[in-house]
Amino acid sequence: MLVKVFITPRKGILDPQGHAVEGALKSLGFTGVASVRVGRYITIDIDAPSAATAEAAVTQMCDQLLANPNIEDYRCEVEVGAPSAEKPATLLSGSSRKPGLAG
Amino acid sequence: MKWGVVRFPGSLDDGDALYALRDVMGQDAAMLWHKDESLGGAQCVVLPGGFSYGDYLRCGAIARFSPIMKSVARFAADGGLVIGMCNGFQILCEAHLLPGALMRNRSLSFICEEVHVRVENAHTPFTRAARAGQILRLPIKHGEGCYVAPTEELAQMEERGQVLLRYVDASGSESEAANPNGSMRAIAGVVNDRFNVFGLMPHPEHAVERLLGGEDGLKIFQSIAQGAR
């Protein structure tokens, strides 16, 4: 099973990379760009009996290592079936960490 | 006093820290290997600067899981003194031994220069050899030194006197220009609420001899060493 993890700078936290990219896009003439945030995208191929257990495991991974709850938010998507990039993604469930939840 | 300097894969300033403590200050200091769990009887553990584990994922995020860090956390919980410089500061934040986090510099550039920091609280094991308000000139060299923490937590930390060092200009005044990396409240170094774990982005170990451009860094190590007497 493939789990995709999207990690982004927490709202309200200054994102200097996003800010720099935003400035670059504007200087290239792209109009209407309101804001850009730069994050991290991680894929994890995991053996798990169900999408729910895969997601629970990856949520723990995020809490303990993949994301820093002080400055980052994350969201997971579980893709069922072989971890092949050719296969269309089936979005089964998503989760987003709420501040204050125990890790 | 017995010191232990932890060497992680990718540590850079471990040798300089050992040199500062042993050769310059005549302290009893030894290198500790990150895979060991023993702290070798150290009374102060030093987490040096560098790029532990290549700064992969986030600075300090992986070093935090080195076997020795379990012992460091236990040591700190028992009241032992821990100091983290630069990458060591990042590791302490990732290990939740210090509040907050260190993010990419506001300028996005790696900064290598000398800065001035003001000692905000001289009643701690890490600053007692300095005077409150004293200006120290120390080098910084980092890409991720922008200190952030929740606003309410910062206010509490200020109230408790946990902000030990703040970036200022040569005359001791705070200004946007004197804050090299965009840290919130121009914070250069913080201590935990038990006052036994200290993290700072500047490098006191690189400022221990005139030949190196200054010896203000000694104030930090002398403060710690004073506690052992």
The 10s digit of each residue's pLDDT in A50-80 is 999 999 999 999 999 999 988 999 999 999 8
CATH code, B84: 3.40.50.880
Query: Does position A93 have pLDDT exceeding 70, yes or no?
Result: no
Chain B CB within 8 Å of residue A17 CB: yes
Q: Which of A63, A64, A68, A72 to mutate to test the interface with B (most CBs of B within 10 A)?
A: A68
Please give the radius of gyration of chain B, using alpha carbons only, rounded to the nearest integer: 16
Q: What are phi and psi of B156, to 5 degrees?
A: -65, -40
Q: How confident is the model at residue B164 (pLDDT cuts 50, 70, 90)?
A: very high
Architecture of domain A2-96: 2-Layer Sandwich (3.30)
Summarised one tens digit per residue, pLDDT across range A6-36 is 999 998 888 888 999 999 999 999 999 999 9
Q: Given pLDDT bands bounded at 50, 70 and 90, which one contains residue A99?
A: very low
Residue A90's pLDDT is: 53
pLDDT at res. B229: 55
By DSSP bridging, strand B44-47 and strand B81-85 are parallel
A20:B148 CB<8 A: no
Residues in chain A within 8 Å Cβ distance of B106: 14, 16
Nearest to A68 among B94, B106, B108 (CB): B94
Sequential DSSP letters for B119-142: ES--SSTTTTTS-TT-EEEEEEEE
- In the residue annotation, B86 being an active-site residue is answered as yes
User: How confident is the model over B103-155, as pLDDT tens digits?
Assistant: 999 999 999 999 999 999 999 999 999 999 999 999 999 999 999 999 999 99
Contact B93 A70 (CB under 8 A): yes
Q: Would residue B205 show up in a list of annotated catalytic residues for this protein?
A: yes
Average pLDDT over residues B43-68: 95
Residue B158 annotated among the catalytic residues of the structure: no
Size of interface A-B (CB pairs under 8 A): 36
Q: Quick one: average pLDDT of A74-103?
A: 58
pLDDT value for A83: 52
Per residue, what are the HEC states of B72-112? Answer: HHHHHHCCCEEEEECHHHHHHHHCCCCCCEEECCCCCCCEE
* B148·A71 Cβ contact <8 A: yes
Considering the entire predicted model, what is its pTM? Answer: 0.88
Distance in angstroms (rounded) separating the CA atoms of residues B188 and B140: 10
Domain ranges of chain A: 2-96
Whether B216 contacts B119, CB under 8 Å: no
Question: What's the mean pLDDT when you consider all of chain B?
Answer: 96
Residue range B49-61: mean pLDDT, rounded: 94
- Domain range for B102 is 2-226
Catalytic residue among B44, B59, B86, B146: B86
Check if A44 contacts B (Cβ < 8 Å).
no
Query: Taking CB atoms and an 8 Å limit, are B105 and A16 in contact across chains?
Result: yes
**Closest CA relative to residue B45, chosen from B66, B147, B123:** B66
**Catalytic annotation, pick one of B142, B146, B205, B206:** B205
Q: Is A102 on the interface with B (CB under 8 A)?
A: no
Name the percent of chain A lying above pLDDT 90. Answer: 66
Q: What is the DSSP string of A51-88?
A: HHHHHHHHHHHIIIII--TTTEEEEEEEE-SS--SSSP
Quote the pLDDT of residue B16: 97
Give CA–CA dist B44/B39, Å, rounded. Answer: 9
Q: Which of A13, A17, A20 sits opposite B148 (nearest CB)?
A: A13
Q: Which of B142-146, B185-189, B209-213 has the lowest mean pLDDT?
A: B209-213
The whole-angstrom distance between A87's CA and the closest CA on chain B is: 27
pLDDT of amino acid A101: 38
Q: Is the pLDDT of residue A82 over 80?
A: no
Structure tokens at B11: 């540590």
∠ at Cα B95 (B25, B159), nearest 5°? 80
* Gap between the Cα atoms of B4 and B19, Å rounded: 12
Per the CB < 8 A criterion, the answer to whether A10 and B151 are in contact is no
- Out of A16, A65, A70, the one facing B106 most closely (by C-beta) is A16
pLDDT at B72: 98
Cα–Cα dist B130/B70, whole Å: 31
* A29 reaches B (C-beta below 8 A): no
Give A102's pLDDT tier (boundaries 50, 70, 90): very low
